[in-house]
Structures are given as C-alpha cells and as structure tokens.
Amino acid sequence: MNDALGIPFEEVAEDFAPLVFGMIKRLKIYKNTEEYAHIGFIALWKAYQQFDPAKGAFSSFAYSYVRGDMLAHLKKEARYDERYQPISFTDYTEPTDPHSETIQQQIQSIAPYIEDLTPRERDWVVQYIIYGRGITEIANRYNVAASTVKSWRKHALRKLREQDMKKRIL
C-alpha cells in the first residue's frame, strides 16, 4: 500500500480502469488493445509508486504516466515497423537491371535453402550473393548500421551450415 494514497493498488486499479481504457480510445489504438491495457496498468502502478501528494492530484499524475507510456510504446512500434519491413522475393527485381529475369531465376533457385531464415537474413543472402553488394552497401540500403548487417550474415551463415550438416547426416 502506498502511504501517500492510503489505499491498496487493487482499488486504485479498479477506480482508474476507465482512464486506461479511455486512453486507448483517445489515442485511437485499435490493434493490440490488450497489450496497451497492460501497458496502461503498469504505468498506473508506476504512478502509484512514485506519487507525491505535495505535487498535485493523483488523477492528473496517473493520466500523464498512462498517456506517456502508451505514446512511448506507440512510437517504439512505429520505429520498428518503419525499419524492419520484410521484403518478399518478388520485391527484389530491380527495373534498371537488364538481367532481371535471370536474377528472379537465381532467387527462386536459392529460395528452398533460405526459407528457414528470418526475413533480414534472407535479405542479406540475396543482396550479397545475387546482387554482389557489400556490408556497407546493404547497410545503407536498409538504413541500418553495418554491425546489424554483420549480425544478419553471422546468423544466416550459421543456419545455412546447420542445414548443410543435417543434410549430410541424413
């Protein structure tokens, strides 16, 4: 129990549930509402723990905590979606390339080998093997750090080696 409020958190959570669900509506969150409700109640818990009655009313303090945490999570998701859009095999054709049919055939020929890789690991394989791009060029193309591309390479190569070992054993 927080001594500043003098009531247990369960009662606070019950009293402020409309705030949490109202904030979800106010921010027009229509996907993953359960996740955002969770975030809202965690923010309410943080507000409950940090509240100082000398600084104002709990309701406005809780409002700012809940709203701030939900907005922060929305921004984080937007950044992730912006940076990590998976690309399908058909998106690799480059219109300026005179050998686009040949490249599509090459991509289709390696597709069975790379189907177990993550989208980014597949991106590395196609960009490196098919298009002959280096780490820096791939990093610039996907707007990520070179170390990130190296990580894609490392994981892709490890998985491909494991696949090869399994085929040899069988």
Residues 41-64: pLDDT tens digits?
A: 999 999 999 888 888 888 899 999
Residue 3: predicted pLDDT: 59
d(CA 28, CA 48): 25
Domain ranges in the chain are: 9-83, 89-169
Q: Which one is predicted more confidently, 170 or 156?
A: 156
Looking up tokens 């606070």, which residue turns up?
Answer: 12
State which amino acid sits at residue 103.
Answer: I
In this prediction, residues 79-103 reach a mean pLDDT of: 62
Residue 9: other Cβ atoms inside 10 A = 16
d(CA 90, CA 118): 16
* pLDDT grade for 95, boundaries at 50, 70 and 90: very low
Q: Which one is predicted more confidently, 32 or 168?
A: 32
Which CATH fold topology does 89-169 show? Answer: Arc Repressor Mutant, subunit A (1.10.10)
Lowest-confidence pick of 24-38, 40-54, 79-93, 125-139: 79-93
- 65 burial via Cβ count (<10 Å: 0-12, 13-18, 19+): buried
Give the tens place of pLDDT for each residue, 15-28: 999 999 999 999 89
Residue 97: predicted pLDDT: 55
Mean pLDDT estimate for the chain: 83
Tell how many helices (H) and how many strands (E) occur in the chain: 7, 0
DSSP sequence for 10-73? HHHHHHHHHHHHHHHHHTT--SSHHHHHHHHHHHHHHHHHH--GGG--HHHHHHHHHHHHHHHH
Residue 85: predicted pLDDT: 63
Check whether 136 has a pLDDT greater than 70: yes
CATH architecture entry for 9-83: Orthogonal Bundle (1.10)
